[in-house]
Amino acid sequence: MSLLRVAVPNKGSLSQSASEILRESGYRQRDDSKQLTLIDDENGVEFFYLRPRDIALYVGEGTLDVGITGRDLLLDSGAQAHEVRSLGFGRSRFRFAGPAGRYTDLAELAGLRIATSYVGVVGAFLAERGIEASVVRLDGAVETSIQLGVADVVADVVETGSTLRQAGLEVFGETILESEAVLVTRGGAEPPAGFEVFKRRLDGVLVARSYVMMDYDIESQHVSAAVALTPGIESPTVSPLHKDGWVAVRAMVPRAGAQRLMDELWTIGARGILLTDIHACRL
Ligand SMILES: Nc1ncnc2c1ncn2[C@@H]1O[C@H](COP(=O)(O)OP(=O)(O)OP(=O)(O)O)[C@@H](O)[C@H]1O
Ligand SMILES: O=P(O)(O)OC[C@H]1O[C@H](OP(=O)(O)OP(=O)(O)O)[C@H](O)[C@@H]1O
Ligand SMILES: [Mg+2]
């Protein structure tokens, strides 16, 4: 059987979380950050640890079947790879920034020097708006380029904003793009063998991360009100209790807001309300 070839970020912000979700999905992952490839025979997958910036290119060329990278890096690459689903980690925004208080509107970019590591994203944005500006390509630490006189503004990934603040810079104009880690495959091609199982495993972990299992007991007369609050994914399980007139209800509920839901259930008479983590699932 041929192995599914999967690209995983070897360094940077996405690397650890990418390996984590793969581990939770039941795949082997490297223990040594210098390891370049790893074969997980039992699961029919070979992992290639690559720079996240290069991953869309390998997948777009069809050299590798699937990759985990950032949406911003995928768009920047211009590769023939496409986003299959977002993975919920490595969230950031791509923004323009300049000296605090200097600029307010992206129309002011005309004629300026813009430092960035994302030449593709910035070039496409300027072309779309018909703004003429020069782009200075840097590998990293772009925030320092203004102070050093090689650029007037920067376009970069912003997460907490603390790097910008430290450099005395401030974002201006609207957000260019919202990024997070994404799963990519080759655009327009048939999904490779083994991909459906791989994707279903990751989907299972993502659902398990965003849902919890809720159990409670309630008098039968209140069960429809309670079930309206906890409809579950398909439908909640309602089982009889030994105590007459009472039932036990079990349903998956979104993790966010689960505490509020417990308060509401209590108010309508539910008791013995329990929340438990789900580790994986297939829905
Ligand atoms: N705080 C962050 N800084 C940089 N990139 C981030 C951050 N949070 C999420 N990301 C995402 O990580 C990807 C950048 O990958 P990259 O390999 O450049 O990592 P990095 O965190 O910049 O690490 P390094 O600069 O050490 O290589 C992008 O998709 C970006 O949106
Ligand atoms: O908004 P923040 O939370 O401060 O994060 C954003 C900063 O983090 C990244 O830099 P990184 O540490 O990857 O260094 P680099 O510029 O050398 O890539 C990114 O390029 C920003 O500079
Ligand atoms: Mg970086």
Query: Interface pTM (ipTM) of the complex?
Result: 0.96
Q: Which amino acid is at 100?
A: A
Does ligand 1 have an atom closer than 6 angstroms to the CB of 24? Answer: no
Contact 38, 78 (CB under 8 A): no
Of all atoms in ligand 1, which is nearest to the CA of residue 91?
9
pTM of the model: 0.92
Which of 82, 88, 85 lies closest to 185, judged by CA? 82
Residues 6+ apart with CB under 8 A from 149: none
Our answer on whether the CB atom of 141 is closer than 6 Å to any ligand 2 atom is yes
Query: Which residue has a Cα nearest atom 15 of ligand 1?
Result: 12
Question: pLDDT tens digits for the chain (283 residues)?
Answer: 689 999 999 999 999 999 999 999 999 999 999 999 999 999 999 999 999 999 999 999 999 999 999 999 999 999 999 999 999 999 999 999 999 999 999 999 999 999 999 999 999 999 999 999 999 999 999 999 999 999 999 999 999 999 999 999 999 999 999 999 999 999 777 888 899 999 999 999 999 999 999 999 999 999 999 999 999 999 999 999 999 999 999 999 999 999 999 999 999 999 999 999 999 999 8
Question: Can you give the pLDDT at residue 185?
Answer: 96
- Please tell me the predicted confidence (pLDDT) of residue 156: 98
What confidence score (pLDDT) does residue 188 get? 77
CA–CA gap between residue 223 and residue 268 (Å, rounded)? 9
Which domains are present in the chain? 4-90+180-193 (3.40.190.10), 92-178 (3.40.190.10), 212-277 (3.30.70.120)
- Cβ-count burial of 50 within 10 angstroms (0-12 exposed, 13-18 middle, 19+ buried)? buried
Q: Are 48 and 58 in contact (CB under 8 A)?
A: yes
Q: Which of the listed residues 8, 11, 13, 180 should we mutate to test ligand 1's pocket, taking the one with most ligand atoms within 8 A of CB?
A: 13
Neighbours of 220 (CB within 10 A): 13
For ligand 1, atom 17, name the residue with the nearest CA.
12
* pLDDT in the model for residue 190: 81
Query: What are the backbone angles phi and psi of residue 222, rounded to the nearest 5°?
Result: -105, 5
**What was the pLDDT predicted at 193?**
85
- The structure tokens listed for 257 are 């807001």
Q: Residue 26: phi, psi to the nearest 5?
A: 95, 10
Is the minimum distance from the CB of 17 to ligand 2 under 6 angstroms? no
